[in-house]
Amino acid sequence: MNAIPKRSVGVTLSAVVSILGSALLALFALLMLLGALVQMTQPAAPAYLKVVVLSEAVLFAGFAAWGITTAVGLFRLRGWARWSIIAFSALLVVFGAPGALMIAIIQFPAAPGTPPGSMAIVKIVLVCFYAAIALLGGAWLYYFQTAGARAQFGAGIEGPGGRPLSLSIIAWFMIFGGVMCLGGVFLPYPAMVFGLMVWGWPARLFYLAFAAFECWLGFGVLRLKPLSRILALCLFGFAVVNTLLFVLLPGYLERIQAVMKALPSGWPGADQFPMLQSLRPGMLMGTLVSLIPIWFLIARRSAFRSEQVRSQQPL
């Protein structure tokens, strides 16, 4: 009889942390849901603001459910739970590291009546928070790839479906980004295309088409379609070039100011133009995030074999 693998302290602690973090996300989701209900009782509030608050509540609730489900799977040493927490760890690194960097660069204007140095303390706390998220994600990425962790889950090196782990993470990252892009359909933000700002219904159509295209590409990468790899390289290349042109072309501050003026009063960030002026270095460094999947899509190109070749391979 095969011995039942014993759960290590590292796996147990990871499951406990996942449950605690998910409970906190569930609390945020509940507060946002209550906020959305309050917004619905105020006819003066913009309709899309209600949709945004409700969507954020659903998003946080979804992440909470993901974390709790993964924690249960970790306690039971399910193989899928290991891949789930690895994917979640990658998201923590992708959002935590750039977030800490950008907050460190942004200039926080002091609000009237606040004590001297208070905004500096807020800035330090936020940087530490995002850095801690990135460090946690990096620690999980490393730990659950070790031989000891894999042995507990009876897992190999490759990801689900025989895909390299990096490609699975990139694919789900694109699908997640496509779903998030749908929010642009309901928001007053313009679409940024090669340094140009597109407003109104063309911007809404752009967000809708881009969301559909990114989700389609994500599922294509999951299925290791060669064409999806080429188009995904083009997509991430577009993200790099688009950001660089928006930041480096003349009129950067005017474009930022136009976006801020388009937001209604009371919208988060509508009155924070002075702070957003310092985003340029952070946006430039943020292009490095898009270079990471480009590198993996090139380095793992051998995984994208034709369907005929894959069908001839033994299972």
pLDDT of 302 higher than 80: yes
What pLDDT is stored for residue 314 in this prediction?
Answer: 37
Which three-class secondary structure state does DSSP give residue 73?
helix
pLDDT of 265 higher than 90: no
What pLDDT is stored for residue 275 in this prediction?
Answer: 54
User: Are 192 and 246 spatial neighbours (Cβ–Cβ below 8 Å)?
Assistant: yes
pLDDT of 95 higher than 70: yes
Q: How far is CA 263 from CA 267, 271, 275, 290, in A?
A: 6, 9, 16, 28
What pLDDT is stored for residue 99 in this prediction?
Answer: 80
Q: Which long-range contacts (CB under 8 A, 24 or more apart) does 294-303 make?
A: 294/233, 294/236, 294/237, 294/240, 296/164, 296/166, 296/167, 296/170, 297/167, 297/170, 297/229, 297/232, 297/233, 297/236, 298/233, 300/164, 300/166, 300/167, 301/229, 303/163, 303/164, 303/167, 303/224
pLDDT of 30 higher than 70: yes
User: Are 275 and 107 spatial neighbours (Cβ–Cβ below 8 Å)?
Assistant: yes
Q: What torsion do the CA atoms of 113, 114, 119, 120 make, to the nearest 10 degrees?
A: 120
What pLDDT is stored for residue 3 in this prediction?
Answer: 53
The encoded tokens of residue 279 equal 């985003």
Which three-class secondary structure state does DSSP give residue 196?
strand
What pLDDT is stored for residue 33 in this prediction?
Answer: 78
Q: Which long-range contacts (CB under 8 A, 24 or more apart) does 1-5 make?
A: 5/77, 5/151, 5/152, 5/153, 5/154
Which three-class secondary structure state does DSSP give residue 272?
coil
What pLDDT is stored for residue 235 in this prediction?
Answer: 92
Which three-class secondary structure state does DSSP give residue 193?
strand
What pLDDT is stored for residue 4 in this prediction?
Answer: 54
The rounded mean pLDDT for the chain is: 79
Which of 240, 230, 220 has the alpha carbon at shortest distance from 290?
A: 240
Average pLDDT over residues 281-306: 80
- Residue 310, C-beta contacts closer than 8 angstroms, at least 6 positions apart: 224
The encoded tokens of residue 235 equal 């997509």
Which three-class secondary structure state does DSSP give residue 194?
coil
Distance CA 239, CA 244 (A): 9
What pLDDT is stored for residue 196 in this prediction?
Answer: 81
User: Are 98 and 49 spatial neighbours (Cβ–Cβ below 8 Å)?
Assistant: no
pLDDT of 135 higher than 70: yes
What pLDDT is stored for residue 62 in this prediction?
Answer: 86
Least confident residue range of 133-137, 293-297, 305-309? 305-309
User: Are 252 and 279 spatial neighbours (Cβ–Cβ below 8 Å)?
Assistant: no
- Band (pLDDT 50/70/90 cuts) for residue 184 is confident
What pLDDT is stored for residue 308 in this prediction?
Answer: 42
Distance CA 95, CA 75 (A): 26
User: Are 207 and 265 spatial neighbours (Cβ–Cβ below 8 Å)?
Assistant: no
- How large is the angle between the packed helices 200-222 and 165-181, nearest 10 degrees? 160
Average pLDDT over residues 161-183: 82
pLDDT digits (tens, 9 = 90+) for 196-254: 888 888 888 999 999 999 999 999 998 899 999 999 999 999 988 888 888 888 877 77
Average pLDDT over residues 294-314: 69
What pLDDT is stored for residue 312 in this prediction?
Answer: 42
pLDDT of 14 higher than 70: yes
What pLDDT is stored for residue 310 in this prediction?
Answer: 45
pLDDT digits (tens, 9 = 90+) for 142-169: 999 888 888 888 755 555 556 787 888 8
What percent of the chain lies above the pLDDT cut of 90? 20
Cα Rg for the chain, rounded, in angstroms?
Answer: 22
Least confident residue range of 120-124, 223-227, 270-274, 291-295? 270-274
Number of residues assigned to the chain: 315
